[in-house]
Amino acid sequence: MNLFSLAKQFPTEDAAIEYWIATRWPDGVRCVGCDHDTVYRIKTVGKTGKPSLIFECGKCQLHFSPTAGTLFHDSHLPLQKWFAAIALMCEGKKGISANQMKRHLGVTYKTAWFMCHRIRKAMSDESIEPLGSEGQVIEIDESFVGGKVSRAGLPEANRRKVKVLGIAERGGRVHLKKIKNLKLETITPILEASISENASQIHTDGSTRYVNLLPKEKHVRGNHEREIKAGDSLSNQTIEGAFSLFKRGVVGSYHKLGVEHMDAYLGEFCWRFNRRREQLEMFDAALSNMTREPLPYAKLKGGDDPF
């Protein structure tokens, strides 16, 4: 959903609230405490002096807001701004930085950063169906992200690089995961959980790392040097393209990432990449996932280690 469509569909805060209520409770509002279905609407005034809507449970008399217990929890921003932020993150092929979100929405950097991370949690797959389950060709590769440090030297830059393992269906879904090293005991569990036995072939580069990890009858080792000289497509072009797009986002949009948040950024990228043919449904899919449990600021802030 683009911003023009968003403004037409939600011209008022009430329209945004009603859409959220219908998204969260498609079969009618239920109490967040006892799950009772007799709930009354109460119009009141919020902490900022603006009119607000709360619900009262007819059984346990609990008062709760439409956003209580969700990723919107404890936010005093209008839902119109939240909806705009979700739309911007869904439409941004290479992502959008908190600084840019701050300028678009007219909020502080801290607020924008917190918003982006909560939406990022919604834009992630909590469970992933193994790739290649319908007989697709699978590609595997690894890449290194970041590491640039002014006047620190090449060894320090290499030490700070974040290792990322990538698995992709040729022409389909992709799964990127931060790993601490390239040892077999680190890679093996990820491959076993992420690749279906139905995959027709599994392509890697010429590295010997995967020789004893993958079924010999399915494993195809490529040779990039020979492929480039012959003018052929790279054997793992899909996953290489996904890595390239993510790195363009790091360089062009984010500039710096906290290493401890790398999996969150990778999850957002994969979620959006895997739905690249579902642009019209992406906003509603992300909004539905905002019903997930709250993400407190204290859990996020930690000690940033940007590369």
Residue 281 included in any domain: no
Q: What is the pLDDT of residues 14-24, one digit of tens each?
A: 999 999 999 99
Can you give the pTM of this predicted structure? 0.88
Do residues 24 and 94 share a domain?
yes
Q: Do 263 and 296 sit in the same domain of this protein?
A: no
The answer to whether residue 283 sits within a structural domain is no
Q: CA-to-CA distance for 263 and 265, rounded, in angstroms?
A: 5
Task: Please give the pLDDT value at position 107.
Answer: 96
Domain with residue 141: its CATH number is: 3.30.420.10
Specify whether 56 is located in the same domain as 160: no
Q: Are residues 267 and 143 in the same domain?
A: yes
Comparing CA positions, the residue from 264, 17, 19, 258 lying closest to residue 126 is 264
Q: Report residue 304's pLDDT band, with 50, 70 and 90 as the boundaries.
A: very low
Residues 179 and 253 in one domain: yes
Judgement on whether residues 235 and 296 belong to the same structural domain of the protein: no
- Whether 285 is covered by a domain: the verdict is no
Residue 278 lies in a domain: no
* Claim to verify: residue 29 and residue 73 sit in the same structural domain: yes
Q: Is residue 40 part of a domain?
A: yes
Is 22 contained in some domain?
yes
103 and 147 in a single domain? The answer is no
User: How many domains in the chain?
Assistant: 2
Return d(Cα 307, Cα 304) in angstroms, integer: 10
43 plus 11 within the same structural domain = yes
Question: How many Cβ atoms sit within 10 Å of the Cβ of residue 294?
Answer: 17
Instruction: Using the predicted structure, report yes or no on whether residue 210 has a pLDDT greater than 70.
Output: yes
Task: Identify whether 279 is part of a domain.
Answer: no
pLDDT of residue 306: 44
Domain span including residue 155: 137-273
Is residue 132 one of the residues assigned to a domain? no
Whether residue 177 is found in the same domain as residue 297: no
Q: Taking 60 as the threshold, does the pLDDT of residue 150 lie above it?
A: no
Q: How do residues 212-237 score in pLDDT, each as one tens digit? A: 899 999 998 887 677 666 666 667 88
The helix or strand, by DSSP H or E, that contains position 229, with its residue range, turns out to be helix 224-230
Let me know whether 159 and 194 are in one domain: yes
- Residue 226, H or E segment: helix 224-230
Q: Are 235 and 297 within one domain?
A: no
